[in-house]
Amino acid sequence: MENIALIDSFSEFKDDKLIDRVTLMAILEDVFRNALKKKFGDDDNFDIIINPDKGDLEIWRNRVVVADGDVEEPNQEISLSEAQKIEPDFEVGEDVSEEVKLIDLGRRAILALRQNLISKIHEHDNTNIYKQFKDLVGDIYTAEVHHIRHRAIILLDDDGNEIILPKDKQIPSDFFRKGENVRGVIESVELKGNKPAIIMSRTSPLFLEKLFEQEIPEVFDGLITVKKVVRIPGEKAKVAVDSYDDRIDPVGACVGMKGSRIHGIVRELGNENIDVINFTNNIQLFITRALSPARVTSIKLDEENHRAEVMLKPEEVSKAIGRGGHNIRLAGQLTGFEIDVFREGVEEDVELSEFSDEIDTWIIDEFSKVGLDTAKSILEQDVDDLVKRTDLEEETINEVMRILKEEFEE
């Protein structure tokens, strides 16, 4: 195989991968120098001349002429008689440049050259993809469903790049078909064995924040700032927004007339319930807004321990806690305070933990998960509703109710 024919076959990689000329020449020289090292033990005395325009390549080996019988390093030195076969008037001490044909490297070496080139170009390609997506981390990206697996969906973008949407990064109600476009935020990019692993997320709070940027012009233009986003994916989210222009109502601008602006975001997130809240540095007011739709009577703050005792009318307690305890949990995450709810006018109540000698700890934990951590907070609930809200059997709930009632009857 001649040099030109081999370079012609290499040029297909340049066309396929759109590698620039300088990079291609650097990769080619690196690959050929590795082959020369394997063949001759060293490549310092070789000149490699690449002409990508003509698709040509030349390799020249430079050696010093020594007297016959004095050759100690065959790659660096050439005997006088051998040199004179190349040029009759060579003398001892002169430099000889001799062209090396690829065929001289052997067929196996040429096959290895090609394989090494493929590997180097793929490595270069993967490095470029890694850098490209590293710059896109935190941005919304759209790709098409290519393959659906049990633990992840494999997506392909317009350039054929593979993007992974793991099961735990999908909204619980997500259902995708092959060929369907999917939006998410690029969460992370890692190199795994020289191949970039690009992870997309639809559950990240950042995805919701970026959707606000895309769908609400005032957020995109910077007139409204999204201060913080907290989510329980597919269930509920709270978004704190602020504006530095007093003429702009940030909540009204984000929600739109009759919810017109936020409706598309809600639909994208599988009908996730989104509360948009005016941000304020007044912690008491911020907690009050975060517990919406419940109306707060009063708040006692312990700023050192980031705790807040919130007083509510009995009929407002369930609103503050929310279905599955979602509302109070998100309010705590949004404000950075652990919120304890107390019922206005209720003078005597008992912490559920005080019944641990009669009620199993795991049962107490189940009630706590939905924001019910006192005796009266449970006694005020309907048994059927508690069955739906917790993982407890009706029989277990009735037994707990009986124990708690006895406490107040005594």
In-domain check, residue 187:
yes
AA letter at 99: E
Q: Do the domain assignments include residue 285?
A: no
Same domain, 153 and 89: no
Q: In what order do the strands lie in the sheet with 338-343?
A: 296-302, 307-312, 338-343
- pLDDT mean over 57-65: 82
- 325 in Cβ contact with 341 (< 8 Å): no
Residue 365 has pLDDT above 50, yes or no: yes
Q: Name the CA dihedral angle for 298, 302, 307, 311, rounded to a multiple of 10 degrees.
A: -20
Task: Report the C-alpha gap between 328 and 371 in whole angstroms.
Answer: 8
In the structure, what pLDDT confidence band is assigned to residue 147 with cuts at 50, 70 and 90? very high
pLDDT at 346: 55
**What is the per-residue pLDDT for 121?**
67
Q: At residue 7, does pLDDT exceed 70?
A: no
The per-residue pLDDT for range 324-339, each reduced to its tens digit, is 889 999 999 999 999 9
Q: Is residue 94 part of a domain?
A: yes
Give me the CATH number covering residue 57.
Answer: 3.30.1480
pLDDT value at residue 258: 87
For residue 174, pLDDT over 90 is answered with yes
The 10s digit of each residue's pLDDT in 254-269 is: 998 888 899 999 999 9
Q: Indicate whether 121 belongs to any domain.
A: yes
What pLDDT is stored for residue 376 in this prediction? 82
- Does the pLDDT value for residue 27 go beyond 50? yes
Q: Are residues 124 and 141 in the same domain?
A: no
More confident residue, 238 or 389: 238
| The pLDDT of residue 2 | 45
Confirm whether 287 is domain-assigned.
no
Q: Are 104 and 116 in contact (CB under 8 A)?
A: no
Per-residue pLDDT, averaged over 275-294, amounts to 94
Judge if 245 and 365 occupy the same domain. Answer: no
Q: State how far the Cα of 83 lies from the Cα of 86, in Å rounded to an integer.
A: 5
* Distance between CA atoms of residues 47 and 342, nearest Å: 84
Instruction: Give the pLDDT of residue 82.
Output: 81
Same domain, 105 and 175: no
Contact assessment for residue 29 and residue 48, using Cβ atoms and an 8 Å cutoff? yes
Least confident of 15-29, 153-167, 272-286: 15-29
The pLDDT of residue 137: 92
Distance, C-alpha 181 to centroid of its chain: 18
Last residue of a domain, one of 226, 245, 279: 279
Residue 319: closest CA among 341, 293, 342, 345 = 293
Per-residue model confidence (pLDDT) at position 190: 86
Looking at the structure, tell me whether residues 146 and 123 fall in a common domain.
no
Do 194 and 123 have their domain in common? no
CATH number at residue 166: 2.40.50.140
Average pLDDT value for residue range 359-366? 89
**At residue 348, does pLDDT exceed 70?**
no
Residues 241 and 195 grouped into a single domain = no
pLDDT-derived band at 44, boundaries 50, 70, 90: confident
The verdict on 125 and 62 lying in the same domain is: yes
Q: Which of 177, 202, 227 is at the close of a domain? A: 202
What's the confidence (pLDDT) of residue 22? Answer: 63
Residues 190 and 257 placed together within one structural domain of the fold: no
Domain that holds residue 155: 136-202
Q: Do 21 and 121 sit in the same domain of this protein? A: yes
Q: What is the pLDDT of residue 61?
A: 81
Provide the number of structural domains found in the chain.
4
Within a domain: residue 30? yes
Residue 318, domain member (yes or no): no
Lowest-confidence pick of 6-10, 28-32, 179-183, 254-258: 6-10
% of the chain residues with pLDDT over 90: 40
388 in any annotated domain: yes
The predicted model gives 10-28 an average pLDDT of 59
The mean pLDDT value of the chain amounts to 84
Say what the pLDDT of residue 4 is: 43
Q: Which of 87-96, 221-230, 355-364 has the lowest mean pLDDT?
A: 87-96
State both tokens at 87. 């040029």
pTM: 0.62
Count of alpha carbons within 13 angstroms of residue 399, beta-carbon side: 11
| DSSP assignment letter at 295 | P
pLDDT band at 1 (very low <50, low <70, confident <90, very high): very low
Confidence of residue 104 (pLDDT cuts 50, 70, 90): low
- Of 71, 105, 131, which one is at a domain's C-terminal end? 131
Q: Where residue 210 sits, what CATH number does that domain have?
A: 3.30.300.20
Looking at the structure, tell me whether residues 82 and 10 fall in a common domain.
Answer: yes
In this predicted structure, the answer to whether residue 345 has a pLDDT above a threshold of 70 is no
Q: Quick one: pLDDT at residue 21?
A: 62
Residues 208 and 198 in one domain: no
